[in-house]
Amino acid sequence: MRKLKKDNYTITYNVHGEGIPILFIHGFPLSGRIWNEVVPKLSEKYKVIVPDLPGIGNSSFIQEDLTIEELASIIADILKNEGDEKAIIVGHSMGGYIALAFAELFEDMVLGIGLVHSSATADDDAKRELRRKTIRLIEKGGKEPFIRQMIPNLFGNATKHKEEQELISERSLLTENKTLTVFYNAMIKRPDRTHILKNMRFPVMWVLGKQDSIADYKKVIQQSTLASVNFVYVYKDCGHMSMLENAQGLVVDLNSFADYCI
Ligand code: MLT
């Protein structure tokens, strides 16, 4: 495990393999471990960097009002810590929101962006309200019912991957309430970034699950022609979790995308 040490916090990340870097950003309420099934194959050819975001695993909680843009700066600091000038940035869902902010703020460091079950649009009012309701629920001690209800919904078919669901739920329950609410507040505040797609000078990878109840296939597919070079992968029997639901397919597709980017 490597460390990015700052004056008042430490971020931990793992590095596997050597070569052009691919940095994987996990989603909510997950950790870097979510990429475990795709890392071994990709690290045969690339330097794979997998951080835990602030408050997750051994990474320090930083502050209540952390933004998606500040999270993108932390990703840039990890790459600088590694001496890497450019990388392919792959983000799952909330990780994709961070990847897009990274593309906006650190364009010169980007070789390509992978959006795995993510979206460039901001939350609409209904989604913001739902997140605020969830924040209140968590603050009142409702973390466990929230997590137990949320995790099965991430999968296209909740009757499959039961063991993984249990493991993810157990790990997510270890996350402090304040970390969960920081991420929700950061997502509420994030702006629409579809204009970033339109101006991108590097390729974008889209991974969509037809059964995804969070990053809705029909909505996200409309964004997948906005950048000038798009690699679009649609997985039929998949929800929000292709790194578990279709790990082998995702590895093959990430490889083709990464080959093209470099
Ligand atoms: C995630 O999977 O990271 C979150 O569910 C994304 C979101 O809530 O928008």
Kindly report, residue by residue over 52-94, the tens digit of the pLDDT: 999 999 999 999 999 999 999 999 999 999 999 999 999 999 9
Atom of ligand 1 nearest to the CA of 150: 5
Distance between Cα 229 and ligand 1 center (Å): 25
Question: Which stretches within the chain are classed as H helix?
Answer: 39-42, 68-81, 94-105, 125-139, 143-153, 162-173, 177-189, 194-198, 217-223, 242-245, 247-261
Using DSSP, state whether 164 is helix, strand or coil. helix
Q: Tokens representing 203? A: 């390729």
Distance between Cα 55 and ligand 1 center (Å): 16
- Does the pLDDT at position 158 exceed 90? no
Distance between Cα 214 and ligand 1 center (Å): 7
- Supply the pLDDT for residue 126: 98
Nearest to 151 by CA among 27, 66, 53, 35: 27
pLDDT in tens, 197-254: 999 999 999 999 999 999 999 999 999 999 999 999 999 999 999 999 999 999 999 9
Atom of ligand 1 nearest to the CA of 187: 9
Using DSSP, state whether 92 is helix, strand or coil. strand
- Residue ranges around ligand 1 (CB below 6 Å): 27-28, 93-94, 187, 214
Beta strands, E only, 39-121: 47-51, 87-92, 110-116
For the segment 167-177, the average pLDDT, to the nearest whole number, is 97
- Alpha carbon of residue 218 to chain centroid: 20
- Which residue has its alpha carbon closest to ligand 1 atom 4? 28
Distance between Cα 98 and ligand 1 center (Å): 11
Q: Residue 232: phi, psi to the nearest 5? A: -115, 120
Contact 129, 106 (CB under 8 A): no
Q: Indicate if the alpha-carbon torsion angle 152, 154, 157, 161 is positive or negative.
A: negative
- Which residue has its alpha carbon closest to ligand 1 atom 7? 94
- Does the pLDDT at position 177 exceed 90? yes
